[in-house]
Every structure is written in structure tokens, then in C-alpha cells.
Amino acid sequence: MLTSKDGLSPHPPLPSGMPPLASRGLLIAVVAAFAAAALGDLFAVYTGVRLRAVVDGDVTATTASSLESAYSLYERAGQVQVATSLLCAVLFITWFFQMRRRTELLAPNWFRKGPGWAIGAWFIPVANLWLPYRIASDMWNACAPLPTEGKSHRLPMWPVNLWWGLFVGTTLLGRFTAARLDMTDSLSGLSDAVTLYLAVDLLYAATAGAAVVFVVRLTALERLRVTEGPYWTPVKA
């Protein structure tokens, strides 16, 4: 049982006396959104390979028309990626915020900042490269079983580290590649930029997969910890 230093309950009592279980409905929506994003990334890979094949061919009157068609399809693939990424962002941040609130009830002492940071941390320039990771790590550790008989029950961090490493690395590489594509003024430069984008799009798909692993595992851990306990319960007056 956890209380504040003055012996009073640090949080208002829960009607049921038990922390709420993480929503399976929201989990399914988040996983579906990431699956759609991964498919969009793979579609972008296909259109990128097609565009590069046209760009690397002989530029004739016939291939000029093919180039315009291939580039138009490539741009549409980019629009699909933007749409699915926005959907992922909305659903994931909603899930992230709700999980932050729920996991705090399991281990309040793990968290140094309020639940609002689970949303705000994503929108602070530069700091958004590490603040969300700290929050995710705190949530992950809050779901770990309490140590017994001097044995630590610390959970392996690889799902968090894999997801965040791919997310940050791919985001930075994507920004660099986008800037390079914008500055391209030749077919050879376009071919090089598209080649880089092929790697970026594959990494985006891998990042979506890693995010699904993180989301599913953390949701399962929270639900298991709530079901089996122990967890924080408010002090009765």
C-alpha cells in the first residue's frame, strides 16, 4: 500500500478499489492503424522501385511519359503514408496517455511528471527525441512485478528500446532524405533520393511492427498486473 509522506492518500479513491484494465478496443484500433501504415510504407517501396526503374532507363519520348506516371504514383503513395501516419499519431498518443494514467495507479512513485506529459512531450522540439521514451520506460517498469525475497523482477527493456531506436533513427533519416529530394534537380539526383527513400520506407514499416510489439506487450503487462496484483490501493479514512 502506497501513501504520501503525511499518511494521506495521494490520489482520490477508485470506486471499485481496483485500477481499470487497459482498453482492448483501443488496442485493436492502434494495431490496425499501424498495420495500415506498414502497408502504406510497403506500397511506397513498390512505387519507389517502379520510379527508380523508369529513372534509370533511357530518357526518350516514351519514357518521359512513363516517368511522369511513375512519379505521380509515387506522390500518391506519399499521400497515403501521410494519412496513415496522422491516424497512427492520434490513436497512439491517445493510447499512450491512457496507459500513462492507468500505470500510475500501479506504481505512483515511478513517475516524476503528470499524465499530461504523455501528450505534451511529443510536441516539444528536440525534447521529443527522448521525453516520450522516458515516459514509456516508466510505464514499462511500473507494470513489473514487485521484487520478492531479494530477487528483482525488472522486465527486459528490449521492446521499448527497439521501438524507440527505430522511431528516432527513421525519423531523422526521413527528414534528411526529404530535404535531399527537395533539392534534387537532375534525374541522377532523383534516383539517389528515391534509393534512400526505399530504405526509409522499409524502416518505417519495421518501426510500425516494433510499435505494435510495444503496444501489445505493455497492454498485456498492465492487464496482468491489475488482475494478479499487487497494486496501489487508496487508504481508507
pLDDT tens readout for residues 187-210: 777 788 888 999 999 999 999 999
List alpha helices for 56-104, DSSP H: 61-104
Is 93 part of a structural domain of the chain? yes
Is 13 part of a structural domain of the chain? no
d(CA 195, CA 42): 14
pLDDT tens readout for residues 63-101: 677 888 888 999 999 999 999 999 999 999 999 999 999
At 5 the pLDDT is 35
Per the structure, the complete domain to which residue 67 belongs is given by 24-144+153-227
Domain count, the chain: 1
At 108 the pLDDT is 80
Is 14 part of a structural domain of the chain? no
Decide: 111 and 104 in contact? Cβ < 8 Å.
yes
Residue 148 in 3-state DSSP? strand
Is 16 part of a structural domain of the chain? no
Hey, which bits of 178-225 come out as E strands? none
Is 15 part of a structural domain of the chain? no
Is 233 part of a structural domain of the chain? no
CA dihedral 41, 23, 148, 163 (to 10 degrees): 10
Is 237 part of a structural domain of the chain? no
Is 235 part of a structural domain of the chain? no
pLDDT tens readout for residues 135-191: 999 999 988 876 655 555 678 899 999 999 999 999 999 999 888 877 777 777 778
Residue 223 has pLDDT above 70, yes or no: yes
